[in-house]
């Protein structure tokens, strides 16, 4: 499976005899600009990569097992979305892991295929600053020649770069790269220096294709496909990072993400303190507003609307099952069923969801705590939620940094959530 990338670790190569003083100066200069390199005494930085095949994951246990990062499948081909991606992304980040997304490539000779797959990945993955760079998982040639596949990969990666400013990671095995891409060094020589190499071995290091990836070496190494990790049922891919500072490979704020965020058409958010959050909500396709030109930031959020917000934010899969009787014919019925299928709501009663009821701040806390599968908080953050029944969940989201309340030591649990507040909750929940 694919994995993340990291800025290449600079390596000193001695060229002839160097004077001791010159070598010392060079090493000091490098230390100021190069990522931290792991030394023999440092434990390796470990992570995993997953997809829907791993089922439901207890991310708090994964974090407790000293896994620092996780790559997760977002998409495949030009129309498939992994049904677990949204929840895995939100829950892994809430548990403290660094996260990255990968696209499983299905190359085709059809005109525009590489661009279509890249666009589908970007529409699904919602990559953002602070994420690990996006990964192209290259395991299939689908009959393309070496030249054609080389062109496909280049077109895909350049599309990602053009739209985001980020140079993606390539995930591949040494054999695949040599056999189907002709051991090409072009990518390493043209800015794509982050390699995620898949080589399942007990050796201390992997085989690296393309002349040690043009001299840059590997950044991530998938060293087994049959690992075991607490919180995951069955086998899982295990990965290692070639360094000690994962922060050095994260997508930076200046990477260009703003280029893909369209300006919302709403004329009523200029003075709202939630304008930034609303703009993000619109850019992610989670809402089109309450009309063509308005968002209605002060409007009250209903349970039906909340289902729509969450189902879209999490990319929850559709379902043909009808869970409730009181939402039939409403515009939110499909999203309510998606939420129920994912186990994120059981409704407000037997076969009832109460789609028209407004959502209180206490109820919002419980929804978010369930979405993120947050662990119990030992700290009591607020004084006005003691008898609500939602107090444990309010403390959970406070501990996770999703709320600071409505005033010092107050959460205002009975207050109704507005559309602007909902935008802020979602923005913080999904790690932007």
Nearest to 364 by CA among 422, 279, 430: 422
Q: Which residues are catalytic?
A: 49, 137, 139
Question: Cβ–Cβ contacts within 10 Å for residue 253, how many?
Answer: 11
Angle at 131 between CA 126 and CA 132, to 5 degrees: 115
Q: Is residue 213 part of a domain?
A: yes
Nearest to 54 by CA among 196, 230, 200: 230
Q: 115 and 68: one domain? A: yes
Q: Is residue 9 part of a domain?
A: no
Q: 102 and 193: one domain? A: yes
Question: Average of pLDDT values for 258-283?
Answer: 85
Element holding 170 (H helix, E strand) = strand 169-172
Nearest to 2 by CA among 44, 45, 48, 46: 48
CA gap 254, 357 in Å, rounded? 42
Name 20's Cβ contacts closer than 8 Å, sequence gap at least 6: none
Q: Is residue 31 part of a domain?
A: yes
Check: CB of residue 260 under 8 Å from CB of residue 121: no
Q: 237 and 323: one domain? A: no
pLDDT tier, 1 (very low <50, low <70, confident <90, very high otherwise): low
Report pLDDT for 143. 98
Q: What percent of the chain has pLDDT over 90?
A: 81
Q: Is residue 150 part of a domain?
A: yes
Check: CB of residue 288 under 8 Å from CB of residue 54: no
Q: Is residue 253's pLDDT more than 90?
A: no
Report pLDDT for 178. 98
**In which domain, by residue range, is 27 found?**
20-257
Q: Which residue has the higher pLDDT, 136 or 6?
A: 136
Q: 328 and 417: one domain? A: yes
Q: Which residues pair with 93 in a beta bridge?
A: none
CA distances from 310 to 83, 244, 248, 424 (A): 14, 35, 32, 13
Check: CB of residue 196 under 8 Å from CB of residue 219: yes
Q: Is residue 165's pLDDT more than 50?
A: yes
Phi, psi of 366 (to 5 degrees): -70, -40
CA gap 395, 403 in Å, rounded? 9
Q: What percent of the chain has pLDDT over 70?
A: 88
Report pLDDT for 432. 63
Q: Is residue 251 part of a domain?
A: yes
Q: 248 and 271: one domain? A: no
Count how many Cα atoms sit within 13 Å of the Cα of residue 404 in the half-sphere of its side chain: 4
Angle at 273 between CA 294 and CA 278, to 5 degrees: 45
Q: 295 and 323: one domain? A: yes
Question: Average of pLDDT values for 61-68?
Answer: 97
Q: Is residue 151's pLDDT more than 80?
A: yes
Domain count, the chain: 2
Q: Is residue 328's pLDDT more than 70?
A: yes
Q: Is the pTM of this model over 0.85?
A: no
Report pLDDT for 21. 34
3-class SS of residue 163: helix
Name 386's Cβ contacts closer than 8 Å, sequence gap at least 6: none
pLDDT tier, 252 (very low <50, low <70, confident <90, very high otherwise): confident
Q: Is residue 282 part of a domain?
A: yes
Q: 271 and 219: one domain? A: no
CA gap 256, 216 in Å, rounded? 24
Q: What is the pLDDT of residues 329-385, one digit of tens each?
A: 999 999 999 999 999 999 999 999 999 999 999 999 999 999 999 999 999 999 999
Q: 32 and 153: one domain? A: yes
* 349, two tokens: 């009663």
Q: Is residue 40's pLDDT more than 60?
A: no
Q: 150 and 276: one domain? A: no
Report pLDDT for 34. 39
Q: What is the pLDDT of residues 100-150, one digit of tens each?
A: 999 999 999 999 999 999 999 999 998 888 999 999 999 999 999 999 999
Q: 392 and 281: one domain? A: yes
Q: Is residue 66 part of a domain?
A: yes
pLDDT tier, 11 (very low <50, low <70, confident <90, very high otherwise): very low
């Amino acid at each position: 499976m694919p994995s993340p990338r990291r800025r290449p670790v600079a390596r000193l190569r001695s060229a002839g005899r160097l004077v001791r003083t010159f070598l010392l100066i060079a090493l000091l200069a490098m230390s100021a600009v190069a990522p931290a390199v792991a030394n023999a005494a440092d434990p390796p930085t470990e992570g995993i990569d997953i997809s829907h095949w791993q089922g439901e994951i207890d991310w708090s246990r994964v974090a407790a097992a000293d896994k620092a990062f996780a790559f997760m499948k977002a998409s495949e081909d030009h129309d498939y979305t992994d049904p677990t991606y949204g929840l895995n992304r939100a829950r892994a980040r809430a548990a403290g892991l660094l996260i990255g997304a990968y696209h499983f490539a299905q190359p085709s000779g059809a005109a525009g295929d590489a661009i279509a797959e890249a666009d589908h990945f970007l529409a699904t993955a919602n990559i953002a600053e602070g994420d690990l760079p996006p990964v192209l998982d290259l395991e299939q040639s689908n009959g393309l020649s070496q030249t054609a596949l080389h062109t496909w990969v280049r077109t895909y990666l350049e599309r990602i770069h053009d739209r985001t400013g980020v140079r993606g990671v390539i995930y591949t095995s040494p054999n695949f790269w040599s056999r189907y891409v002709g051991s090409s060094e072009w990518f390493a020589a043209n800015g794509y220096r982050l390699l995620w190499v898949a080589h399942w071995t007990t050796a201390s290091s992997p085989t690296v294709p393309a002349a040690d990836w043009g001299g840059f070496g590997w950044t991530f190494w998938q060293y087994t496909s049959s690992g075991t990790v607490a919180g995951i049922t069955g086998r899982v891919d295990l990965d290692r990072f070639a360094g000690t500072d994962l922060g050095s490979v994260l997508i930076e704020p200046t990477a260009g993400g703003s280029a893909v965020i369209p300006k919302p058409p709403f004329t009523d958010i200029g003075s709202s303190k939630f304008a930034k959050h609303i703009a993000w909500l619109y850019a992610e396709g989670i809402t089109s507003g309450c009309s063509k030109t308005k968002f209605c930031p002060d409007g009250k959020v209903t349970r039906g609307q909340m289902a729509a917000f969450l189902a879209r934010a999490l990319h929850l899969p559709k379902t043909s099952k009808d869970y409730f009787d009181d939402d039939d014919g409403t515009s939110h019925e499909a999203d309510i069923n998606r939420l129920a299928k994912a186990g994120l709501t059981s409704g407000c009663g037997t076969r009832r969801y109460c789609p028209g009821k407004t959502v209180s701040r206490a109820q919002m806390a419980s929804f978010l705590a369930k979405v993120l599968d947050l662990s119990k908080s030992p700290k009591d953050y607020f004084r006005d939620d003691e008898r609500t029944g939602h107090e444990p969940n309010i403390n959970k989201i406070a501990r996770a940094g999703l709320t600071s309340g409505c005033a010092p030591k107050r959460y205002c649990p009975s207050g109704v959530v507005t559309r602007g507040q909902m935008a802020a909750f979602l923005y913080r929940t999904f790690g932007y």
